[in-house]
Amino acid sequence: MPNTLIRRVRLVPVAGVPAPDDLVDLRIAAGLVREVAPDLKPGANESVTDADGRWAIPGLWDHHVHMGQWAATLSRIDMSGTAGPDEVLARLRIHLPTLSAEDRTSVVVGFGHRSATWARQPTVAELDEASGTHPVVLVSGDAHNGWLNSAALALLEAPTTSGALSENDWFPILARLDTLPGAQESAAAAYSAAVAKASALGIVGVGDMEFGSGYLDWPARFAAGIKDLRVRAATYREGLDDIVAAGLRTGDELGESGGLLQMGPLKIISDGSLNTRTAYCHEPYVDGASLAHPRGKPNLSSDELIELCGRATAHGLTMAVHAIGDAAVAQTLDAFEQTGAAGGIEHAQLVDPTDLARMAKLRVSASVQPAHLLDDRDVTMTCWPDRADRCFPLRSMIDAGVVLRMGSDAPVSPLDPWLAMAAAVYRSGDDRPPWTLEQAITPDEALAASTDGQTTLAVGSRADIVLLDRDPLAPMSTAAKAADRLRSTRVEATFLAGRETFS
Ligand SMILES: [Zn+2]
């Protein structure tokens, strides 16, 4: 690990820990900040970077990413913003003739449509008509649903269907996409590009919630040269026996990565999603009269959830439980309470106020994705208008003492911590007034939820350092301006364990 002296930085105070007023130098060795003072003398074998008065924050984290899908998304047909099946098919018809001969041998993947607000649901027949015999897989924007043509259904050995696949019919198909011929080579290039893009935004670490065997795949990627990121690789229940057999506990180093790669939590998907109206709620969906399950439904029984939490805890694994509806959050907290499991709830999009205190008491963190509120605002006002005041309840969470960890759930929203922080501070992504602004948090709080618990850079901090062109937390007259400032802050350099990963 390089020894580095970063000269003349202004430290941004993070999580209320005061910073010196004057410019300081940061001496870095063995991956940690060793000295913080003005005018340090460069040592022998120390590389020197002059920050020239730039602002320094701890490296940013995205606590919930699907790295493989995000990497792949960067090379997929963008179907976001489509108003119905016809618009998706029109984009596909434009894209298909542009494929090279080589591309024609692989599956065409589109991503990002949101069918929940469409006037009608898509059919396999219409996709066949637009695509012919070329296998096409269209992954919905929340990744909980896939629209495949007949060629892709056959290739991926999917269940027979006349429409889109969702939830448990769909997840195995999504995982199988990565095992197709040619997928490996293009995946490696896509991962490199995705990591470089993340470093350019000041990201130094992610919680990777990808399906499959991340605990084996990340060390292999690292050995192949993809080294610019800390990764905590989650496992799903399908992989739990292998993880236990390998004796891996949460926090254990994976491979020879200098501590950058770690075993993550056990990820469980306890309910569905808002867009598919499968998130599990205490009250029926307002527009859910025709649903088979008017309150949504849990993917696991309480007993199953308790069994999994208990087994993970016994083997040293923390939990990351996807729970979007308030009933799913309650069911998950029950399981944490009964088993003494540690970890967090992913999404916690709709929460009963009484459960916030319980969450804080159990020290269950909330892994939230504020940029989703920009996308989910309209559908929430259709299906949960009566409970909108406790959707994405970031303010209430912090006030109750719940630890927030922010992320993107990329590819559901882009892997961009600045977008997430801005959405948390000012809950509007367009010209409309903010949505339930009383649940907004401050820029300081948003930054503190994005640094994996690292506070103001000091002696002993991880040498994960981001240099910025401005103070992202400078006081502004309105929340809108504070959010604008976050969005327009430019990352000028990123250091990971003292090594420059972007400049
Ligand atoms: Zn996710």
pLDDT in tens, 224-245: 999 999 999 999 999 999 999 9
Distance between CA 193 and CA 182 in Å, rounded? Answer: 17
Distance between CA 305 and CA 314 in Å, rounded? Answer: 14
Mean pLDDT over 141-148 rounds to 91
**d(CA 411, ligand 1 centre) in Å:** 8
Predicted pLDDT at 181 = 72
**d(CA 145, ligand 1 centre) in Å:** 13
Predicted pLDDT at 396 = 97
**d(CA 415, ligand 1 centre) in Å:** 12
The yes-or-no verdict on residue 103 having pLDDT over 90 is no
Nearest to 146 by CA among 183, 113, 108: 113
8 A C-beta contact, residue 345 and residue 361: no
Judge: domain 68-179, CATH 3.10.310.70.
yes
Domain locations in the chain as residue ranges: 1-59+455-503, 68-179, 270-453
The CA-atom distances, in angstroms, between 477 and each of 148, 394, 439, 481 are 49, 21, 18, 7
**pLDDT class for 105, splitting at 50, 70, 90?**
low
**d(CA 210, ligand 1 centre) in Å:** 8
Rounded-to-10 torsion of CA 375, 381, 385, 388: 30
8 A C-beta contact, residue 233 and residue 208: yes
Domain spanning 1-59+455-503 has what CATH number? 2.30.40.10
Judge: domain 270-453, CATH 3.20.20.140.
yes
The amino acid at 95:
H
**pLDDT class for 108, splitting at 50, 70, 90?**
confident
Domains 1-59+455-503 and 68-179 share a fold: no
Predicted pLDDT at 446 = 98
**d(CA 437, ligand 1 centre) in Å:** 25
**d(CA 471, ligand 1 centre) in Å:** 31
Q: What pairs with residue 108 in β-bridges?
A: 136
**pLDDT class for 167, splitting at 50, 70, 90?**
confident
The yes-or-no verdict on residue 101 having pLDDT over 80 is no
Rounded-to-10 torsion of CA 76, 82, 86, 88: 0
Mean pLDDT over 299-321 rounds to 97
Backbone angles phi, psi at 163, to 5 degrees: -135, -155
Mean pLDDT over 343-351 rounds to 97
**d(CA 309, ligand 1 centre) in Å:** 19
**d(CA 110, ligand 1 centre) in Å:** 18
Nearest to 233 by CA among 279, 264, 188, 274: 264
**d(CA 468, ligand 1 centre) in Å:** 29
**d(CA 432, ligand 1 centre) in Å:** 27
**d(CA 188, ligand 1 centre) in Å:** 21
Centre a 10 Å sphere on the Cβ of residue 126 and count the other Cβ atoms it contains: 15
Distance between CA 274 and CA 325 in Å, rounded? Answer: 8
**d(CA 63, ligand 1 centre) in Å:** 10
Mean pLDDT over 344-362 rounds to 97
**d(CA 209, ligand 1 centre) in Å:** 6
Q: What is the pLDDT of residues 22-55, one digit of tens each?
A: 999 999 999 999 999 999 999 888 999 999 999 9
